[in-house]
Structure formats: structure tokens, C-alpha cells
């Protein structure tokens, strides 16, 4: 009688741990949380590996029907499968609290998350500050509250991991007006859109907040981290604006001005052609 919250990691169905697979095999019901991130394999692939059906859990379901999900755990084990690591999204915290209130044992099965995998560009994870989220701007809603956070991180010589907006199962208001419940196709923010919005946010910020970053600031754009075709490119904000990172999910790191020499050495192979940061290493060696 356990609620397992199982991290699936970042790549394919094979990124589950042996412990996670054992928990899945012991469960009578499997739910896949599908709205804070996306897996790059189909539900069918998972079902094939697990040998049992998987139910997609939408935001509505996790937030308003968590008792229904949890009721299964009173008779047999229930597994909630999440992309990445169970503790990286606050939704699962809610469900854990609710389960404990109901007297259901909760076990986490950890796995890799984007917050750990972001270190594979060579920047040291212990130099990262607060993580920010960049939401899709709309005509009337262009929040810039992330800007002072990047400023604070950079003033303290910290890198900033930027998580980029995901819109999954957004209601189609036009269809709703016609009395139909329909959803818009999913949207995933690209590194390019994030950079555009972030540069706009820097432009419109109050004077005291200027200087968090500008078009010349070193950034690292990353796509499909932990997957076979992951893409990592580093360069200034303006250089990365026109780079193609391919399919989602994307994320971005705004580097501190104080990138350690070892970090820069590891970043070197990801610097885009023609970048102002391209010759950093040669310049340093020439200066010896």
C-alpha cells in the first residue's frame, strides 16, 4: 500500500532505474504526469516495457482528483510517473502532502532532472543561483519579474538556469464560445523566443535593474538534455538568437561574468562558430 512517485529521467523509457521498474511492476495502477514536462517516448513504449496500461494524468486530474488517484493506494500500490525527478515539480509535493494526510506511505524514486543535467554544458552546478521561469509573453501580459532575479544572481557571481514555458492542454476559448471543449496544440518555448523576451525585459526594466545582462552576455542554450540528440550551444545572447536548437524541450543558462577557467574550458566545444567567445581559450593561452 504505497504511493510511488517515480522519476523517469530525461530520455527514453530506458532511463528508469531498476528500483523504479520494480515499483512499477508491483503497482496495480500507473499514472503518467504529463503537463510540467514531456517525455520523448510514447505512452505505448512505456506500456510495452512495463507490461501494463498507463493512464495520462492531466493537470485537472492531479489537482482536483488526487483523492481518486490515491484511493487506489489503499488497496494496492499506485505509481505516479513523472518526467525528470519527483521533487523538481511542486505539484508532486502537493500530492505527497495529501497522501500523508490520508495515511498512505509515499516512496520517491529519484532520477536525473534538468536541474542536474544542466551541468553537462560544463558549468559547475554549485555556481548556480535561483532558477527562473520565463513565461510566454502575450499582448497584454509581459511580466519581467525574472529580470531582477538574474541581476541578483549575476551580482553574486552565479549562473541562472532559465526554465522555459510549456503550454499543454490550454483551452481553446474560441471553440468554447461555440460550446465545445477543445484544446490548443501544445507549445514549447524555444531558446530563441526566450532570449527575445529576456532582452525586451532588460530594455523595459527600471534603471536600478539595468545591467542584469545584455546582448553580449554569455549564455548556453540547451535542447533535449539527456536524450541521444541533445543540443548544446554557447555564445552571446545575440549570437544565440539565430541558432536553431531543434525540437523541444529547451532551456537556457545565463552565465555569470565570473565563469571559472575550468568551466570555460569545458564550455569551449559548445561555443558557436564566429562567436566573440570563440577564441577565449586561445587568447588566454596566448596571454600566458
Binding residues for a second copy (CB under 8 A): 7, 9-19, 21-22, 85-88, 90, 93-94, 96-97, 100, 108, 110-113, 115-117, 119-120, 122, 124-133, 152-153, 156-158, 163, 226, 262, 265-266, 269
H or E element, residue 188 = strand 187-188
The gap from C-alpha 233 to its chain's centroid, in whole angstroms, comes to 17
Contact 249, 37 (CB under 8 A): yes
- Indicate the residue among 14 and 142 with the shorter CB distance to a second copy: 14
CA distances from 115 to 62, 69, 131, 252 (A): 23, 27, 9, 11
Burial of residue 44 (number of CB atoms within 10 Å: 0-12, 13-18, 19+): exposed
- Indicate the residue among 172 and 230 with the shorter CB distance to a second copy: 230
Minimum Å gap between C-beta 149 and a second copy is 8
Minimum Å gap between C-beta 245 and a second copy is 19
The gap from C-alpha 117 to its chain's centroid, in whole angstroms, comes to 10
**C-alpha–C-alpha distance, residues 110 and 131, integer Å:** 20
Q: In a 3-state reduction of DSSP, which class is residue 166?
A: strand
**C-alpha–C-alpha distance, residues 217 and 277, integer Å:** 10
Minimum Å gap between C-beta 100 and a second copy is 6
Q: In a 3-state reduction of DSSP, which class is residue 250?
A: strand
Minimum Å gap between C-beta 216 and a second copy is 24
**C-alpha–C-alpha distance, residues 176 and 174, integer Å:** 5
- Indicate the residue among 37 and 113 with the shorter CB distance to a second copy: 113
- Indicate the residue among 93 and 283 with the shorter CB distance to a second copy: 93
Minimum Å gap between C-beta 258 and a second copy is 11
H or E element, residue 7 = strand 2-7
Minimum Å gap between C-beta 184 and a second copy is 26
Report the 10 Å Cβ neighbour count for 84. Answer: 25
- Indicate the residue among 21 and 102 with the shorter CB distance to a second copy: 21
134 φ/ψ angles, rounded to the nearest 5 degrees: -105, 110
Minimum Å gap between C-beta 270 and a second copy is 11
- Indicate the residue among 158 and 254 with the shorter CB distance to a second copy: 158
- Indicate the residue among 43 and 172 with the shorter CB distance to a second copy: 43
Amino acid at each position: 500500500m504505497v504511493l510511488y512517485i517515480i522519476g523517469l529521467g530525461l530520455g527514453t523509457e530506458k532511463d528508469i532505474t531498476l528500483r523504479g521498474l520494480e515499483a512499477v511492476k508491483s503497482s496495480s495502477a500507473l499514472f503518467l504526469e504529463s503537463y510540467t514536462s514531456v517525455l520523448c517516448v510514447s505512452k505505448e513504449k512505456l506500456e510495452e516495457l512495463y507490461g501494463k496500461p498507463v493512464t495520462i494524468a492531466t493537470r485537472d486530474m492531479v489537482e482536483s482528483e488526487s483523492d481518486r488517484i490515491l484511493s487506489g493506494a489503499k488497496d494496492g500500490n499506485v505509481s505516479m510517473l513523472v518526467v525528470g525527478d519527483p521533487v523538481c515539480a511542486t505539484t508532486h509535493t502537493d500530492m505527497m502532502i495529501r497522501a500523508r494526510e490520508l495515511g498512505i506511505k509515499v516512496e520517491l524514486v529519484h532520477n536525473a532532472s534538468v536541474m542536474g543535467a544542466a551541468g553537462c554544458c560544463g558549468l559547475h552546478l554549485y555556481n548556480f543561483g535561483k532558477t527562473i521561469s520565463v513565461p510566454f509573453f502575450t499582448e497584454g501580459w509581459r511580466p519581467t519579474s525574472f529580470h531582477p532575479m538574474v541581476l541578483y544572481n549575476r551580482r553574486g557571481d552565479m549562473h541562472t538556469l532559465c526554465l522555459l514555458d510549456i503550454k499543454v492542454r490550454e483551452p481553446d476559448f474560441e471553440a468554447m464560445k461555440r460550446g465545445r471543449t477543445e484544446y490548443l496544440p501544445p507549445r514549447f518555448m524555444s531558446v530563441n523566443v526566450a532570449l527575445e523576451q529576456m532582452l525586451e525585459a532588460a530594455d523595459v526594466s527600471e534603471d536600478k535593474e539595468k545591467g542584469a545582462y545584455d546582448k553580449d552576455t554569455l549564455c548556453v542554450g540547451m535542447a533535449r538534455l539527456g536524450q541521444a540528440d541533445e543540443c548544446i550551444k554557447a555564445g552571446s545572447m545575440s549570437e544565440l538568437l539565430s541558432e536553431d536548437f531543434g525540437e523541444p524541450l529547451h532551456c537556457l543558462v545565463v552565465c555569470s561574468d565570473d565563469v571559472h577557467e575550468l568551466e570555460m574550458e569545458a564550455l569551449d566545444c559548445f561555443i558557436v562558430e564566429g562567436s566573440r567567445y570563440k577564441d577565449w581559450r586561445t587568447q588566454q593561452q596566448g596571454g600566458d
